[in-house]
Amino acid sequence: MAVENNIDPLVSMQQELCDMWGINNQTKYVFYYDESNNCRKFWVDDSKQQFNTDYTADFVLAGLVKKEEDIVDVSLETFRKPLKLQGNVEEIKFKKLYAKGDFLQCVKEKRLLETLSWIDKSPFYIHYTNVNNLFYTLVEIFDSIVKPDEISEFGYDYFKMKSIFYHMFKGKADKLQILMFKYKYPNIQREDVDAFCNELLFLLGSRKEMKEEEKFLA
């Protein structure tokens, strides 16, 4: 007698990954989030004929996470002395306390080192996700014109090829915006798909200067 398998394939795959990496996904955690550069929706603005937001400004979702049973004092008073906060400070803001020029200058800031040191000694972990809007826009195009098995059939890694596809167009984002506006991307009419793809290829230039994997995609 056959036993029906009602396990969700996605759940099964996630469990396999957790087992492979030695992650106990049954532990309960408490997450604290903050975000930056959330444009809500990434699209080509008809009035400007360009992306509605800076395509180089990645959407970042990050914060701290701890096990549910861990008790940690994270009141403002905990940081007032080590960060030398004035009495009228009621909230810790990155731009006011840590931002001192470019990235290298920021990481040299003593207050940032004090904060990271406190996190390192606490039960907290840092969680972090980064979404590049232009990358996922191009990946949507990639996924619509090629299938994973078509890539693997020729011995290439599917996810690596996505990254290569992105880097092929990354330096041509200004021209890409114009092209997407011209064809009203993502609402491209069926009869315009071939022309859109041909113009995408035209942006890439001569095949002679491409690497092997780039030539495969072109």
pLDDT at 181: 86
Most confident of 58-72, 84-98, 183-197: 58-72
Residue that the structure tokens 């994270």 belong to: 74
Q: What's the pLDDT tens digit per position in 76-101? A: 888 888 888 888 888 888 888 887 78
Q: Mean pLDDT for the chain?
A: 85
Cα separation, 21 vs 24, whole angstroms: 9
pLDDT at 50: 78
According to DSSP, the residues that pair with 50 across neighbouring strands are: 45
Lowest mean pLDDT among 107-111, 120-124, 182-186: 182-186
Amino acid identity of residue 146, one-letter, is: V
Closest CA to 53 of 128, 127, 129, 131: 131
Span 36-50, mean pLDDT? 80
Between 21 and 141, name the one with better pLDDT.
141
Q: 5 pLDDT exceeds 70?
A: no
Cα separation, 121 vs 78, whole angstroms: 13
Q: How many CB atoms lie within 10 A of CB 158?
A: 15
pLDDT at 10: 65
The set of long-range contacts for 42-47, using a CB threshold of 8 Å and a minimum separation of 24, is 42/133, 42/136, 42/137, 44/177, 44/180, 44/181, 44/185, 46/181
Q: Which ranges in 110-185 belong to alpha helices (H)? A: 110-121, 133-145, 148-152, 158-170, 173-182
pLDDT at 8: 67
Q: 218 pLDDT exceeds 90?
A: no
Q: What pLDDT band is residue 2 in, cutting at 50, 70 and 90?
A: very low
